[in-house]
Structure 1
Amino acid sequence: MSVVVLGAGMHPWGKWGRPFTEYGLAAARAALRDADVSWPEVGFLVGADTIRNGYPGFVAGATYARALGWSGARIASCYAACASGAQAMDIARTRILAGLCDVALVVGADSTPKGFFKPVGGDRPDDPDWLRFRLLGATNPAYFGLYARRRMALHGSTPGDFAAVKVKNARAGALNPLARYRKPVTAEEVLASPMVADPLRLMDICATSDGGAAVVLASEDYARRRGVTDPVRLAAVSTVTPVFPNAVLELPEFATDSCAAVPPPARPFRAAIAHAAYEEAGLGPEDVSFAEVYDLSTALELDWMEDVGLCPPGEADKLLRAGDTALGGRLPVNPSGGLASFGEAIPAQAIAQVCELTWQLRGRAGDRQVAGARVGLAVNQGLFGHGSAVIATR
């Protein structure tokens, strides 16, 4: 038995200033309509948590179930930072595979503050990410900049390459009615935007956004009974953790006693996230038709391409320059427009990636359609050792 994506829905992303529940409810209803499933038919609902939004955010499953109308559905809530949505999908998928329900709804939504994210949930001195903020003063834009500098030193990437990533993603985002930023930009505009964390400028770094996303998952038998004969299948959901001694998650080049004494793992964390999904799906990076990767910054998109095996280390810039990763190219990356066009709405973003996989694999992505798409990969990384990869196939 396999699990299929029966429906996908989103609330447009932006800065709307309304409660997160409103965005999640709109996305859930859109996904149910897309699946042609009524809410009372859903046996299980999983809410991806948003801990910034008070108690309703901590119990997102119950929050969305109440908003949809108490129906007796079983619920769960989960938090895994930026991987929350993928973990929520994995929980729902597991319940379906166990035969405990036929159809499940997964919802994530966020209402975000102005500016970059800061640590929430109180003091966490055992969290390397919290320590990064407090001891190093390395906010998110600062460590994006460190990664960009590392890439420039190792592979010769330039600010012009980073700007080209933004140009590519903005062109795709301009074609996506759900994106927050829908205006093409030029490399000159990117390079003229204010410097934030050298070498990254304002337009190199994704924003924080309000938004919501939802998917309806079902068993293949259920889909067949509903007359769906060629559904989008969830071939793999990976939610792996790092491997010792890579204990410093966000700044892996900083030496620690453990990594001086013990050989490093065969694959760094981001590579392990994707390769676990490849192994589960019985596929490899050479099978991928298109990918949604975690472009928190323009430079990080290039790193992700290499880490997930879409090209060898140091080769991502060449694919970018050749147009291979653009719409119409050999291997489009972030055909949705990516976080460059959407911004971060943390519990929703992994689900939003799967919405894009679904629409692309159905051939319903409109002007941003990837021709002949058969295998889609979505990857992201959350704080405190959370990572996720999803492979969907047609």
Structure 2
Amino acid sequence: MSARTSGPGVAVAGVGMHPWGKWGRSFVQYGVHAARAALTDAGVAWTDVDLVVGGETVRNGYGGYVAGSTFAQALGWNGARIATSYAACATGAQALDTARARILAGLSEVALVVGADTTPKGFLAPNAGERWDDPDWLRFRLLGMTNPAYFAMYARRRMDLYGATSEDFAQVKVKNSKHGLNNPNARYRKEVAVEDVLASAVVSDPLHLLDICATSDGAAAVILVSDDYARRHGLVDPVRMKAVSTVTPTFPNTVLDMPMLSTDSSGGVEPERTFKESLALAAYEEAGLGPEDVDVAEVYDLSTALELDWIEDLGLCKRGEAESLLRAGDTTVGGRIPVNPSGGLACFGEAVPAQALAQVCELTWQLRGQAEGRQVEGARVGITANQGLFGHGSAVVLTR
């Protein structure tokens, strides 16, 4: 398919971020910083914004539950309409989808989408209280299944199916650490070696501490505008948001998603399409593009092994081939299909409502040619991939 497609889309007029770290401040402060940076980048006055969509942060009290209103108030009431989104790690993309839909419907011209988070120390845990209808609460309290435990299950699956090794997983961390060295918004800006990863503590076998992302404070914001507004304000050849996919899994399944042991000589069976593949396919179809058009990808590397899964889910290679791409250097900046030139979660850590927006920020800088020190030369099409919990996920396609 051609990267030069027509059809629905909105202009990405501006992006901005608050650097990731452990700052110990209110998520509102981070969000305002990112929003003002995006407004400045876009050259858009706050008074022109007619829609504010906030990424919800359930850990941060009532202000987090009504994030759209919280950010609008902190920036100064200007009469804008508001909305608030929550979809776990895919929150930012769902918020973008809300803003984009209103622009395409002619109900908005200038939308500010902002997500920010202040996270606790250690791995993310469910909020206090008993919630027997909450699958996250159940897996933590009844199974003791923390996030690293199921990251490890995915990693073990790659080992069993495709021959992945702990050294392969470590090499993902090495690659992303190099990418993040020149990213001013990254929390961790230090090279590591494979030996460093393998020498770090085992958290959930086969994953080591340096295979797993941290939790962080941070924020990201995106300004979306209508085509008419872009033309009136001289926005020439902007980055365009061509697709936002937030599809859910399809049930009932006729084939199990995980291979099962069997006496059948054919072994386990694979589904026709996994949930994450469905996310990517919906994004490609909406954008009128295919994986062969993609120049750069930002994927949700909660663990090093999960990055390898995403490469295949996005169709950037066949099943079981991600390790080969990694070993050949194809997924590094300068390679055939760079993945996570920002440094990914390996260098940022999780700031949940901001993460999908941060991916869009990075791709916008890449497609503009502004990603100094980590630029993917000639990038014209980028895709993001993100998975929340309990059926939340997203993929966003940007073009130039």
The question of a shared fold, defined as TM-score above 0.5 by the shorter chain, is answered with yes
Residue 91 of structure 2: aligned partner: 84
Residue 108 of structure 2: aligned partner: 101
Is 1:56 the counterpart of 2:49? The answer is no
* Aligned partner of 1:354 among 331, 354, 360: 360
1:123 offset after TM fit, Å?
3.5
Task: Note the residue ranges of structure 1 that are not aligned, 5 or more in a row.
Answer: 256-262
RMSD: 1.9
Q: What is the CA–CA distance in structure 2 between the aligned matches of 1:121 and 1:312, rounded to whole Å?
A: 42
Find the residue that maps to 2:340 and give its secondary structure.
coil
* Aligned partner of 2:393 among 375, 382, 387: 387
Q: What is the CA–CA distance in structure 2 between the aligned matches of 1:300 and 1:359, rounded to whole Å?
A: 24
Q: What is the CA–CA distance in structure 1 between the aligned matches of 2:107 and 2:259, rounded to whole Å?
A: 44
Q: Which amino acid aligns with 1:331?
A: I
Q: What is the CA–CA distance in structure 2 between the aligned matches of 1:85 and 1:279, rounded to whole Å?
A: 21
Is 1:321 the counterpart of 2:314? The answer is no
Q: What is the CA–CA distance in structure 1 between the aligned matches of 2:367 and 2:239, rounded to whole Å?
A: 7
Residue 221 of structure 1: aligned partner: 228
Residue 142 of structure 1: aligned partner: 149
Q: Residue deviations 1:118-159, cap 9 Å, x none?
A: 123744433433332223211001111111111101000000
Residue 277 of structure 2: aligned partner: 271
Q: Which amino acid aligns with 1:58?
A: Y
Residue 135 of structure 2: aligned partner: 128
Q: Residue deviations 1:175-211, cap 9 Å, x none?
A: 1010000011111111111111111000000000000
Residue 287 of structure 2: aligned partner: 281
1:225 offset after TM fit, Å?
1.1
Q: What is the CA–CA distance in structure 2 between the aligned matches of 1:377 and 1:7, rounded to whole Å?
A: 18
Is 1:157 the counterpart of 2:164? The answer is yes
* Aligned partner of 1:207 among 210, 214, 219: 214
TM-score by length of 2: 0.93
Q: What is the CA–CA distance in structure 2 between the aligned matches of 1:268 and 1:9, rounded to whole Å?
A: 33
Q: Retained in 2: the 8 A contact 1:376–1:392?
A: yes
1:252 offset after TM fit, Å?
5.0
1:84 offset after TM fit, Å?
0.5
Q: Retained in 1: the 8 A contact 2:259–2:270?
A: no
Q: Residue deviations 1:17-58, cap 9 Å, x none?
A: 111001000000000000001111100000000000000000
TM-score by length of 1: 0.95
Find the residue that maps to 2:320 and give its secondary structure.
coil
Residue 3 of structure 2: aligned partner: none
Closer, same or farther: CA 264–159 of 1 in aligned 2, 3 Å: closer
Q: Retained in 2: the 8 A contact 1:106–1:214?
A: yes
Q: What is the CA–CA distance in structure 2 between the aligned matches of 1:295 and 1:54, rounded to whole Å?
A: 27
1:254 offset after TM fit, Å?
8.0
* Alignment length (residue pairs): 386
Q: Residue deviations 1:188-240, cap 9 Å, x none?
A: 11111111111100000000000000000001121111111200000100011
Give % identity: 70
